[in-house]
Amino acid sequence: MDLLVKNARVVTSSESFESSIGVEGGKIASVSPILSPSGARVYDAEGKVVIPGGIDAHTHMELPVTGTTSADDFYSGTVAAACGGITTIVDFVDTKRGQSLLGALADYRRRADSKVAVDYGLHMMLKGQNLPEIDRIPEIVQKGVSSFKVYTAYKARGLMLEDADIARVMEKVKGAGGLVAVHAESERIIQRLIEENLAAGRTGARFHALSRPAEAEAEAISRVAELARRASASIYIVHLSSRAGRAEVEKARREGTRIFAETCPHYLILTDDVYGREDGRNYVMSPSLKKAGDRAALWEGLRPDGVIETVGSDHCPFPSAEKDWGEGDFTKIPNGVPGTEAIIPLLYSEGVRKGRISMFDLARVTSGSPAMRFGLAPSKGSLSVGSDADFVIIDPRKQVRMTADVMHSKIDYSIYDHIKTEGYPVLTVSRGEVVMEDGEFVGHRGKGRFIPRRGDPRSKVT
Ligand code: URP
Ligand code: ZN
């Protein structure tokens, strides 16, 4: 045995029990109240909680965005992930101009394989330039990339697909047993408001949010849900940010659509008040932050009877000097915020400790559900004998103020520096290796592996 965690309170999506956990060869070797160390390193988890390693199914490491690249590469981003208890990320392959889908996939694999400190999978982004290649989707699924992201917005960046093209993608992805992830915001509503605001000289960060109201999200969800229902395809709404959006997901579910949703830590913690601050630009992401009522609706949606089954970070940070490019024109602010390191600390401290969600919910939305939805189970997302030894130990007594100097992302500010947590991850184990201990990264560059993901057999054409 390599590692023995004793006196653990183990919590998964469905169970909570006192046990010891034995780790050997990167796998969970035994889960039993009495285990003998037999040469293993022993970690005493008395008074602490052990949950399956977090799966952050929404990151953008080293992503080119409007004249720059997101600040974390696959190394620094996965160091941050490990320090927050995340043991698997799923990032998005973005094709460069002229690059084929398979060429872009190979490029991402080459860049990520040598850097990742925890395991990773990949989704494929499908934008306008990729449409001539959608017949390649089954081949890409065969390579372990079984989810495809489309955008209903960002026309100027070449990301937006028309509804008819989204419908074609849904047919192809369904046929290959995959899942369509959707960035759902209405280009029509947003563009009109952006033009009105800029023409009237309303250029500050506040107008980023005022140009992206909740109705823009709700309208796009309603539209793509209808396309999915007609195609009998499975869809996954990324970064749900509003009560109105949640209501559209619920409505589509009632109508029998196979629709799933994710939210992000920033929508659960922050509101659009921050855009009025002097550093409001640092909080610019899309969709934008909404109101306190939206935030409450998202917490409710995470409960077992809710429609939000996962929390992903949409980790895509930029330094404040680059956020400043939007001074005088909010559309020039690079969109995106940090988050992968914050998911588990915030969901534990602001969610579980404040009674908004249970410990089971925490384990489910950060690990069990993303493992199942993205074809990573049973090796990920649980703590059973034979599964990967991916887990995080939380000390409920550890208080951490989440300032820039304690977070590991390569940026100069923290959007959560007003938060002092009640409880924090103190040990992260990734395939049997301790990668974070007491806030310090102790893992290795390039130690993570690419995890090929299966498609969803229930969405396959029979
Ligand atoms: O604001 C967001 N969601 N940024 C992520 C990267 C992108 O441009 O989609
Ligand atoms: Zn994203």
Tens of pLDDT, residue by residue, the chain (462 residues): 999 999 999 999 999 999 999 999 999 999 988 878 888 899 999 999 999 999 999 999 999 998 999 999 999 999 999 999 999 999 999 999 999 999 999 999 999 999 999 999 999 999 999 999 999 999 999 999 999 999 999 999 999 999 999 999 999 999 999 999 999 999 999 999 999 999 999 999 999 999 999 999 999 999 999 999 999 999 999 999 999 999 999 999 999 999 999 999 999 999 999 999 999 999 999 999 999 999 999 999 999 999 999 999 999 999 999 999 999 999 999 999 999 999 999 999 999 999 999 999 999 999 999 999 999 999 999 999 999 999 999 999 999 999 999 999 999 999 999 999 999 999 999 999 999 999 999 999 999 999 999 886 554 332
Residue 98 carries which side chain, given as an amino acid letter?
G
| Ligand in nearest proximity to the CA of 59 | 2
312 alpha carbon, closest ligand: 2
Mutate to test the pocket of ligand 1, among 314, 323, 409 (most ligand atoms within 8 A of CB): 314
Q: What is the pTM of this model?
A: 0.97
405 alpha carbon – ligand 2 mean position (Å): 25
Ligand 1: residues with CB < 6 A are 60, 65, 285-286, 314, 316, 335-336
Atom number of ligand 1 nearest to Cα 157 = 8
CA of 48 to the centre of ligand 2 (A): 32
Q: Which atom of ligand 1 is nearest to the CA of 65?
A: 8
* CA-nearest residue, atom 3 of ligand 1: 286
Ligand found nearest the CA of 285:
1
